[in-house]
Structure formats: C-alpha cells, structure tokens
A = this chain, B = another copy of it.
Amino acid sequence: MNKKAVILLSGGLDSTTVLGIAKSEGFTLYALSFCYGQRHDIELKQAEKIALRFDVAEHAIINIDLRRIGGSALTSDVSVPKNRSLGEMEENIPITYVPARNTVFLSLALGWAEVLGAADIFIGVNALDYSGYPDCRPEYIAAFENLANLATSAGVENRLKFSIHTPLINLTKAQIIEKGLALGIDYSLTHSCYDPNREGLACGKCDSCQLRLKGFQEIGSIDPIKYE
C-alpha cells in the first residue's frame, strides 16, 4: 500500500502517537501543523522535529490567527488553570477550549487532502480522558466526515471517499502511551504543557501536564520530558 494520509500534528503526545499509528498502517505521511496564535511556539518546534524523525513526505505549517476570534485561554493572556482535580477537569468545558478549533483544523486538512489526493485524515482527539471539548466526540467526528464528502469536488465526484481516523478516541492516556511505546515513539520529543516556563519546561500542574503524568504513572513508566 502506498496511500497518502494527512495527519494533524500539534507536537503533543496524542498527535505524535497518531502519526506513529498512521505510519505503522503503511500510509505515506503528510503532517499538518498550525501557527494559530498559541501562547508559545514550543509545540510547533517540537512538531518540526517529530516530522523530521518520522521522515514524513511533507510537513506543512499554516499560519492562521485565531487570536482575532478570541474566546480562549490558549490564545490570550487569561491564565491557565493549575492543580485542578480530575473531577474539576470533567465538570465544565475548560477555558482552554478554542472555539471551533478542530473544525478549522479539519477543514484545512480536508483542503490539503483533496489537493494531495489523500482520502485519509488522522486526528488525535480523545473523548475519554478529557471529555470537556465538544469537538473531540465521536458524533462530532461523524458529522465532519459526512460534511467532508459533501464539501469537496473529490467527494462529490466520488474520486475520494474521505475518512476521518481517530485511533485514540476511546483510549485512556495510559493506553495511548502504551500503544506509542510499543510503536517505538520517542516521547521526549513531545510537548503537552499549556503554560511552559521561559526555558520551555512543562509546568506539571495544568490539566494537560497532569493527565500526561498520570498516564505515564499508570503504566509504571517515566515521562522522559523535563518539568520545571
């Protein structure tokens, strides 16, 4: 098989695992990242290193200023919550939610996929461990897949049947890490923290750090990245 796939790559643990899964399934890899007005560009630098390590066919980075839209702690100066319990995390949609982000990202992945002639799009959404984001749920993904085949020339003309792959959607963070380690993924390259310090070290206290640390802990493994 030599089918092309577009993989959304943030430089985090989840999307890097997805890249590894797509590779293990024999796809030719087209990684897509976004410079969208994140608070920091560490994850983007890591995404570039990861794309190199995986020897992708192409890594596109698209600039899109989501700050103009506003509405999220991830694209503004609002402070990121720290030291929350799992219960607190699950209670409400977090302020790190970026309005319509996955829809914007998947739309651009779809456009690129159509140009490349790639029917397969991979995204590392997860509905279990962190259920607060509406655009990480299976019903959302199904609706996007339906849209994708109506939205494009390739879909309408039956040249491509677009498929949105979400291999992590029902896995816990521990299961994701276990899968990635089995695939030989080097998690020292990945970055998950919402609020790293000036040296780029992860805080260990935001929701994203806590879930990551808990995941490694549950499988009795040690997170290879440094924390402040």
Tell me which of B62, B68, B98, B137 contacts A150 (CB under 8 A).
Answer: B137
Please report the total number of A residues contacting B with Cβ < 8 Å. 43
Task: Say whether, besides A63-B64, A143-B143, A134 and B151 are in contact (CB < 8 Å).
Answer: yes
Partner of A97, one of B98, B102, B139, B153: B153
Chain B residues with CB below 8 A from A64, complex form: 62-65
Q: Given that A147-B144, A152-B99 are known contacts, is A65 also in contact with B63, CB under 8 Å in the complex?
A: yes
**0 or 1 for each of A56-97: is its CB under 8 Å from B? (1 = yes):** 000011111110111100000000000000000000010001
Contacts known (A63-B63, A63-B64, A64-B62); A104 close to B97, Cβ less than 8 A: no
Residue A52 CB within 8 A of the other chain: no
Say whether A103 contacts B147, CB under 8 Å: yes
B71 touches A115 (CB 8 A): yes
Interface centre among A99, A110, A137, A139 (most CB of B within 10 A): A99
Contact A107 B103 (CB under 8 A): yes
- Assembly stoichiometry (copies): 2
Report whether A69 and B115 are in contact in the complex, using a CB–CB cutoff of 8 Å: yes
Partner of A60, one of B68, B98, B102, B108: B68
Does A135 interact with chain B (Cβ within 8 Å)?
yes
Any B CB within 8 A of the CB of A140? yes
A104 to B156, CA, bound (A): 17
Measured CA separation A152–B93 after assembly (Å): 10
Given A99-B115, A115-B70, A147-B143, answer yes or no on A134-B107 (Cβ-Cβ < 8 Å): no
A–B pairs, 15, beta carbons within 8 Å: A60-B69, A62-B69, A63-B65, A70-B115, A93-B153, A98-B111, A99-B110, A99-B152, A103-B107, A103-B110, A104-B104, A134-B156, A140-B147, A143-B147, A143-B150
Beyond known contacts A102-B151, A103-B151: 20 more, CB 8 A cutoff:
A60-B69, A62-B68, A63-B64, A64-B65, A66-B111, A69-B112, A70-B115, A93-B156, A97-B153, A99-B112, A100-B107, A134-B152, A134-B156, A135-B152, A137-B150, A139-B150, A140-B151, A143-B146, A143-B151, A144-B151
